[in-house]
Amino acid sequence: MRIVKTKIKCSVCGKNDAVVYCDGCDAPLCGNCRKFDLWGYGCGHVDTKAFCLSCAEDIEVNPWGGKRPAAETAERTVQESMRVQIKEAP
Ligand SMILES: [Zn+2]
Ligand SMILES: [Zn+2]
């Protein structure tokens, strides 16, 4: 999370002063438009991330909170490996 130190407007609403940069696309965001996410690591360390709405939902930017087709892809991979096993069986 990177704090905005200069006075610039939020790139989402254009009304409020930006307080933090999006960790995905570097867009300056105000307190209303940022979306916080906590990334936990195995060692107990937690990183605070701030995203704009589109980056928060983008699985490639935010693998912990994103919504794009991770489950679907995993399912397809399982189905394909099953098909291979069936074909190779004697
Ligand atoms: Zn805003
Ligand atoms: Zn963003």
Q: What is the pLDDT of residues 22-39, one digit of tens each?
A: 999 999 999 999 998 888
- What is the whole-number distance in angstroms between the Cα of residue 44 and the centre of ligand 2? 26
- pTM for the structure as a whole: 0.66
- The residue count of the chain comes to 90
Q: What is the pLDDT of residue 55?
A: 93
Measure the CA–CA gap between 72 and 66, rounded to whole angstroms.
Answer: 13
- Does residue 50 come out as left (phi exceeding 0), alpha (psi in the -120 to 50 range) or beta? beta
Q: How far is the CA of 81 from the centre of ligand 1 (A)?
A: 46
Q: What are the structural domain ranges in the chain?
A: 2-88
Ligand nearest to C-alpha 34: 1
Residue 37 pLDDT:
86
Distance CA 35, CA 16 (A): 15
| Number of Cβ within a 10 Å radius of residue 54 | 14
**pLDDT tens for each residue of 40-67:** 888 889 888 999 999 998 888 888 777 7
- Per-residue confidence (pLDDT) for residue 42, from 0 to 100: 87
Amino acid making up residue 20: V
